[in-house]
Amino acid sequence: MGSRDIIFSVSLHVLVVVATVVTMPLAQRNAFPHQEVIRVNLAAMPKGAGLQPTPVQPAPVAEPPQQKAPEVKETPKPKPKETPIETQAKKTEKKTEKKPAAKPAEETPKQAEESSGASEEDSEPSQSQGGGGQGEVNAPVGAGSPFGGATIDNANFDYPYWFTQAFNKIGVNFHNRVQYPGPLVCVVYFQVIRSGRVIQLEVRESSGVPEFDDCCLEAVSKSTPFPPLPREFVDEIIGISIPFKYTP
């Protein structure tokens, strides 16, 4: 090896070192926006709303006549417009128009029959309504709520409370361990039988990041058993799709 080669080699190494040192902080900041990751993971969840469906309240004008005292309508409630996910709110408003806000217990089966002909698309707002009950008490759901847009494949299942309980449980058990520069969505599908046990659990739409998919599956599997299906619900099984969302 001649002295020329050595000088060339040293120069090259020095150049690489200088380039690495100069560009590292910049590259790190761009590649791993850690602070943003923390903020996104924590922003919604501690308020008890981040992992729940969009809270939606029936529009006072759209409510059908009720047997209850009229002052209920005067109760100040958060308006759907305040929720960032407007499409969810609109869908739920439509559903609310069909159904009295407070129906007698005896009418439940009848109500279930009425909604039995509804399409899968129609059943979606009823889940959002489930979260709405909880959302009333808590802060409104912020953008990035992982469960906005959940769907059920059994339109007869019209029990908002059940979704509130189940989604809260999933929310407690959802621990995202993934850091990723872009948004992720993983749709998980699972079937629940009468006892609340899950008999099928799968990723319907992968996020493309296996670790994130695993976190989503784990959130559901750790949440079992879910509350049992209501006694009045005649079917033996329901299937639910939940989109888990991650926004950096």
Partner 1 sequence: MHRLILLLATVVLLLPAAGFAQSEERIRDIMFDTIMARTVEALPVGVDQMKYIGNQYITADDSAMMQWATKVVQNDIDFYADFKLIPLDTFFLRVYEITELDILGWERLGAQRLVKLEAEFPGSNIRIYWRLFDVKTNQQISKGQVEYHRNYWREMAHDVSNEIVYWLTGDQGIFRTKIAYIKQLKPGVKEIFLADYDGANERQITKLGSVCLSPTFSRDGKEIIFTSFRDGKADLYKVTVEGGAIAKVASYPGINAAPAVSPDGQKLACVLSKDGDADIYVLEITGRQITRFARPRSIESGPTWSPDGQQIVYSSDRAGQPQLYMADDDGLNEKRLTYRGRYNDSPRYNPKGDRILFVSRDDNGRFNIATVDVRGMEYHMLTNIGTNENPHFAPDGKHVIFTSSRGGGTDLYTMDSGGRNQRKLTATGNVTNPVWGPFPRR
Question: HSE-up of 71 (CA within 13 Å, CB side)?
Answer: 0
* 227 binds partner 1 per the rule CB under 8 A: yes
Q: DSSP string spanning 182-193? A: S-EEEEEEEEEE
**In angstroms, what is the minimal distance from the CB of 154 to partner 1?**
16
**In angstroms, what is the minimal distance from the CB of 161 to partner 1?**
4
Instruction: Report the alpha-carbon distance of residue 108 to residue 90 in Å, rounded.
Output: 24
Q: How many CB atoms lie within 10 A of CB 35?
A: 9
- Per DSSP, helices labelled H in the chain are 3-31, 34-43, 71-74, 86-98, 108-114, 120-137, 160-173, 210-221
Q: Which is nearer to partner 1, 36 or 205 (CB)?
A: 36
Q: Binding partner 1 by CB under 8 A: which of 55, 133, 144, 148?
A: 133
Residue 219's closest CA among 167, 182, 142? Answer: 167
Segment lying near partner 1 (by CB under 8 A), choices 117-125, 131-139, 144-152, 180-188: 131-139
Helix, strand or coil for residue 104? coil
Contact pattern for partner 1 over residues 145 through 184, marking x by CB under 8 A: --------------xxx--xx--xx-xx--xxx-x-----
Q: Which is nearer to partner 1, 187 or 226 (CB)?
A: 226
Q: What are phi and psi of 38, to 5 degrees?
A: -60, -45
Q: Binding partner 1 by CB under 8 A: which of 22, 87, 90, 104?
A: 104
* 28 binds partner 1 per the rule CB under 8 A: yes
Q: Give Cα 51 to chain centroid, integer Å.
A: 5
Q: In the chain, how many H helices and how many E strands?
A: 8, 4
Q: Which is nearer to partner 1, 86 or 232 (CB)?
A: 232
Two tokens at 125? 């707002």
Q: Binding partner 1 by CB under 8 A: which of 97, 205, 232, 236?
A: 232
* 14 binds partner 1 per the rule CB under 8 A: yes
**Residues that bind partner 1 in the complex, under the rule CB under 8 A:** 6, 9-10, 13-14, 16-17, 20-21, 24, 28, 32, 34, 37-38, 41-42, 45-46, 48, 50-52, 68-69, 72, 75, 101-105, 108, 133-134, 137-138, 159-161, 164-165, 168-169, 171-172, 175-177, 179, 196, 222, 224-228, 230-232
